[in-house]
Every structure is written in C-alpha cells, then in structure tokens.
Structure 1
Amino acid sequence: MFKRPKQAFYNTWISTAENLLPEYDYFDFANFVNRDKQSTNLFYNNIMKMALQRANGENKLTIANAINKFNTRGKLGSQFGQEYNEYWEKREQAEHEERIKKRQKTAVETTNDAACASFESIVLNVAAEIQGSKVANNNEKGKNAATNVDANDNDNNSNDKEYSAEYEDISFEAFNEKIIYVDTNKKYMNEEILQLTETTNLPTKKPSDAFASLQNKINDCQPSTRLLRKTIKLYIAEMIDTFDPIVHADLNFTEVLCTHFLNMIDSPRNPLLQKQLERNTGFLTTIPILHNLFVSRNDILDMQWVEKNASATGNIKWDGVVFVVGNKTVTPMFVELSGGINFNSTDKKETDDEKKLVEQFIKLLKIQKAEGVETPCQYYVRYFVNILKLDMVLYFESLTYFDDYYVKRTHFTVSCPSTCSKLIDFVAKIPQIFEYRQGILNLIKEMK
C-alpha cells in the first residue's frame, strides 16, 4: 500500500527551498521526492499552500509566484508548461527504458537457465543409460542446479515491480504580468478588450425610488444654497414616516453629504476654496464621502483612516483602508490622498502614489490567486486636485487579475463640490457611487 511521506520529509526540502535558483523550484522538488507525476503535483501543491499560509512579507510573494508559475503548466504556450512536459517526458522515458532493461535482463537469464536445465536433463538421461551407477549422483547435481535457478529467478522478480503510469493531471489557467488600461482610447477597443471591460464592469444597482425622486428635484433646482436646502429638507420631512437609513441608504447619504458641503459653501470663508494641507483636505472631502458610503453596512465593513496598515501589504501606510469585520486580513478597498488643495498637488505626487498602489496590489492579487481566489480584484479610491480646472477629484478604480492580464479600471470620477452647481453634479453621480459600493460587497461574498 502506498504511504504518504511524513511532514518531516517535506520540511527537509521546504526549509532550504528559498535558497534555490529559481526559488521553490518545482523540478528540484520532483527530483527530491522521486514520485510519479500525479503524486509529485499533489505533494508540491499541498506543501506550497502550507508554506504560503505561514509566510510573511516578501517571502509570501515569492511563494505565491512559485505557485502561480506551477499553475501555468496546463496552458498552451506557457514556458513553464513546456519545461514541465519536457521534464516528465524525459523522466518517463528514462523509467520506461529502465523497466525494459530489467525485463530484458530477466528474460535472458530465465531463457539461459531454462536452456541449461534442459541440456543438463538430456545429458543426465543419456548418461543414465550408459552409466546406471552414476545417474543418481548426476540427478542430485541437477536438482541443486535447478534450485539455484529458481532462487535467482525469484530475486530478479522481486526487484522488477509492476509500474502503473499515472496520466491524470489538473490544468490551471496562467496569468502573465501585463496591465491593460481599458478606459483609455475606447474607440480603438477590439473584441477581447470589450469582453474584459464587460467582465470587470461594476454591478448594476437600481437606486431607491425615494432617492430617484429627490435627485430629480435637485436636478431641477436652481444653484442656490437656500433653494437646495429647502428642497432637501421638505422632501425628507415628507418621507419622515417611511424613511429608513438602511433601506434608503442612498437617500440618507445624499442628505448628509449635501448638508456637509452646503455648510462649507455657505460659510464666510469656504475652506474648499482655500489652501489646505493633504490630511485636512481629506477630513473635508474624501473621508466624509467614503465613511458615510459604508456607514449603513458597518456590520460588514469597517472603514479606518489615516496612517493605517493592512496585513496584506506589510508596513505600507495607507490614508484609508476598508477592513472586513471579523477578518481584518481581508481588505477589499484602499484609499490614497495625493496632495491637498493647492498644496503638493503635482503630477509627480499623483504618479508616485498611483505607482505605490498598483505595485502593492499586483503583489496582493498574486497571493490571492495562489490562495485559490478565481478572479482576484482590488478596489481603491484616489484623491487628486486637477489644478487647471481647480477640481478636487475622486477616482473610483479597481485592478483585476483576469485571464492573461491585470485589468486596470477607472470606473468613474467624482468632483468634490465647492459650489452649488458642482453639488448638483455630485448628486447625479451618487447612483454610480453606490454601484461601486455594491461591487465591494459582492467581492466580499465571493471571497468567503
């Protein structure tokens, strides 16, 4: 009966595998365990998954890369797949030739022994007729010779075990490091890009009827703080008997955020039109918007702000992180502030922050893929001021590890309102903001 190697046997290899070139090399493991293909794949997959769970920092990414590389073995055109097939063809050919040699050797020895035994029998019979007195002695020698042949034959058979080849294998999709920006140059999209766009689109979420009614009233309203306040307050008063902040989350969000921005617009010195440092700008714009977006689902999502770490990204500091309640290792959304209002709002700052985001998320998605997530996705929101337009913009984005690509999406942008006209435009974007939230909620369900 086949016995699985003990854990200590695996630990001998895994303890030094990070020093190999390449690290955690599959072929070195295959030579080490010296098993058939199916067993080797099973053992390698199991030990690497265990190592991934225990690893931290850069070593976790290294192990994830090795697992993802191993998972490309079944894909046509994969370099590792070609090396994998060549390796096992050579192994199986060598084992096949070795079995043939053993059987040929056994066959030759058996034939020779049988021929010798037959010849001895003939000689003994002839000799018995001529020398009756010597037949008994010769027969005794023949018995001894036959006994030796049987013993040798049994020894050879015991070493020539029957080989049962295993052909069953599992194929996994391969993923290559290639980023596609599907929201640029849309008129030049081919069929493949259109399919990627459709697959990574946000889910459709119908606004509540209560919100839709208020949105229409705001859209028809003149850009006056007094008229906007009156429109909102009268409508909420009409809804007082049926209003529910959870059921009507989009309506509640609209009332709270409109009041927040109207208060600043109405203030003697509108802070959104003054120079502000990055963190102070965040408390005036990004934080109120995103914190109120998730407040109705804070039983599931925990929004944390300013200099926060996430276990998935090590020592990297984030301006905002959405954690899953009860499991802080799952972080479906990150937030990064790139400058303030007329302060440190340079193209270099924006580029450096976006590079930081994408680099960290590529690592994170690779690890998720190695852990078995079918289509890893990471949501993130960036804040940046468009100096030319004097516009404080939130970019609602995502990066998805899909098929052969990392698909980077800028689903939509929202301007933080500093005037009444911009506030009306902001309200028109709220349905998209809630579709983005729904995408995050759906992602959490898929990851459970």
Structure 2
Amino acid sequence: MTKHFWQEEFETLGKKDLQKLQVERLNATITNASRSSFYSKLFGKKNIQPGAITDIAQIAELPFTTKQDLRNHFPYGFLTLPKKDIIRLHSSSGTTGNPTVIFHNRHDLNSWANLMARSLFCAGVRDTDVFQNICGYGLFTGGLGFQYGIETLGALSIPAGAGNSLRQIKLMRDYGTTAAHAIPSYLGRLYEVFEAEGLDPKKDTQLKTLVIGAEPHTDGQRKRIEEMFGVKAYNSFGLSEMNGPGVAFECTYQNGLHIWEDAYVVEIVNPDTLQAVPDGEYGELVMTTLDRQAMPLIRYRTRDITRILPGQCECGRTHRRIDRITGRTDDMFIIKGCNVFPMQIEGVLMKIPEVGSDYMITLETMNGVDEMVVEVEVRNDWFQGDIRRLDKLSKTITHQIRDEVLAKPIVKLVEAGSIPKSEGKAIRVTDNRKNGLN
C-alpha cells in the first residue's frame, strides 16, 4: 500500500482533536516556560497560572515575546533546563547586538527531525531519493535541520554545504542527485555555472525536486528556478526561533504551506494593533512552540507577513496553511515618502526575461536627496549586446519599479555574477543614507 503521510496520526487530526491536543500541549508549555527566569518574572507580573487554558483561543490573553526579549536575556534567560541536559544550540550572527540563541535537548532535536521528515515527505521526497543539501552547516539552522530530517526520512544524504558550485555540479552528476535544498538566490548563480560549463541541468542531471527557502522570494522567482532546472520547486518556511526549517511546507499540490499545528500555535495579527485578523487577511505571523522542552517560546512575533489560507488542502492534511511570506515588517524602508518592501521590486524583476539571477538595493543620500539605487544583473547574452538595447531595458525596469512602488529608482545594469553572493541569506538592501536605519 502506498504511504500518503509521514505521521498520519497527527497530519489528519480533526479540528476538535487537534485543538484538544494544542490545549494540552499549551498548558504543558506554559508550565515548562515558567521554569525560565524570563517567563517566571513575566508570568508573575501578569498573574498567569499554569494549567488555566481550556480553549486555544485563550492564547490571545498571553503576552507577546519579541526578538529584543531574547537579546535582552542573552544567553540563558529563556532556558528551562540545567545546562547538562542541553546538547545543542543554534544562533544568529549577532552583528547588531547580542545574537538570538535557541537551545535544544535530545527531545527537541528528535521532534525537529520528525517535523523535517514530515515536511520533506509531503513535498514528495522519499527514502529512494538522493538528497543534496546545499546549505551552510553550523550555527545556521538550515544545514543540520535538513540533514537530520533527510536521515530520519531515510533518503541518501549528501551534506554538500554551501557554495563551491563546480563541486555541487560534480556531486549531482556523480551520485545521481534527485532532490536538493538551497536558498533561491544561490540557485540562480548555480545555473549560471551550469551554463558556463556547457551543461544543462535538465539533461545532465537527474534532479526532479528542489526545496527552496531560508529567504523570502516571490512566486516569479520560484517559477524561474523551475524553468531553469526543469524541476518542481517547493517552498519551505522556518525560523531559528521556532527550531529552523520544518515549520511549514508546501505539499505536492502547491497551494500554500502546511503549518504543523501539533507543534505550533499560529496566529496572524495586525502589526499595529496586535489584534487578530480574519483568515485570508495579511498580517504578522505570531507563533508559539508546543513541543519544545529546553526553550519554549510563547506568542513570538516573527515580523513575517503572511495570511492563513481558508479551506482545507486536497492532499488530506488538516493542518491550516499559510501563504508564502510576502516580506517582513522590519524589511520595509521608506524612500521619498513611499513605503517599499524589497519583495515588491523582486516581483517586478522576475517578470523580465532579460534579468539575471540577482539584484541589490542600495539607499544613498545624493546631493542632499535620498535615492534608491537598484543594481540588476543582466543575462550575459544581453549584457554584451547593443548599448541602445541595454538603455531601453534600463528604462523599462525603471518605469515598472516606479509603477509598483511609486518611487523612481536609479537602475544600474551589471553583468551576471557580479553582485557579491553570501553563503547564508541574500542581502537585498543596504542603507547608506545619512539618516538610514541600517
């Protein structure tokens, strides 16, 4: 018999049974969280009693947790267990202050591995696949998060790590890679190397599935990746504060990302009023862990903008689905009085065939005026062409971005591969303004 679910007992729970499980796990989470110094003080001030939740809707009565809270109580203020019981930590870079650190005990890592295996299975990955993990290992959660999930699922794993495109291509061809995970911005660069080597990933590899995530991207970028590699590309969502990857994943129907509600309570709130918004309406994603022991987080404000998709998926999974992340509340910048999200600009660029795989937005103060400079990589066959053709392309991009964000950019066309690439998430915006925020 064909297996349709990785953990059917959780993935197909009815609404009442799922909410009952959430209430049980939320009460246990509150009890556990009260053992940390941060939540112990917070619950005391708010008179929050462990075990008082009888309806999952009561979560709205609990206080929010923010990234700044994590930084202010660095490193051990959220820890609920003795350090001897902790076996791993993951951390952000901390380039703008204390890093955000998440601790795990063995239960937490096993739970995370199961969520990752469940996620990969729902995207069509099976134990017969050869899975190449093109992601950084170490403090960044993507590498090890996927690694343990691949192994739990039982697929042959190639822990390739990030970068070194020629080696990535050789690994794919030598071992017959059928599935891979990478950040979307890197896949554009990888395709350019395929082309430079005279290779076509559609013909010269056995790739059939790509998992993309770790950085927000438009559906246009996903479709471009599918066309370049001749595969199905599945959107994944995660954040280190909720373990890392494996929080929500597209299934093979690709109509939203299933968010695993036996492990998380998901809310969508208006970022200004902090009140819940109806399903289908965009707002800020707020999440609570339900199955993490070492460092539970309650009503964590992710800053990611998305919405709950109404209805149930055709795949049979009953867990609610979120839409792709459209941006972050803290990614927005203001230029010439206009609110701009980088994803709006990417949405314009990905519809233009001549545009290459990467772009960079730099905010500069020029002659006392703030300007938005958009560097855009152009495919080599276009960049080496008629200067008049490039000038026409530049004007087209300028007009389309202005129409989308209502602020006119300064567009600079550059050669493919010339914008610096990072091994982690792509850096899309640099703010060099005299009064800039970065």
| Class of the TM-score when normalised by the shorter of the 2 chains | under 0.3
Give TM-score scaled by structure 1 length.
Answer: 0.22
Give TM-score scaled by structure 2 length.
Answer: 0.22
Query: RCO (CA 8 Å, sep 6+): is it higher in 1 or 2?
Result: 1
**Structure (1 or 2) with the greater helix fraction:** 1
Specify the structure having the higher radius of gyration (Cα): 1
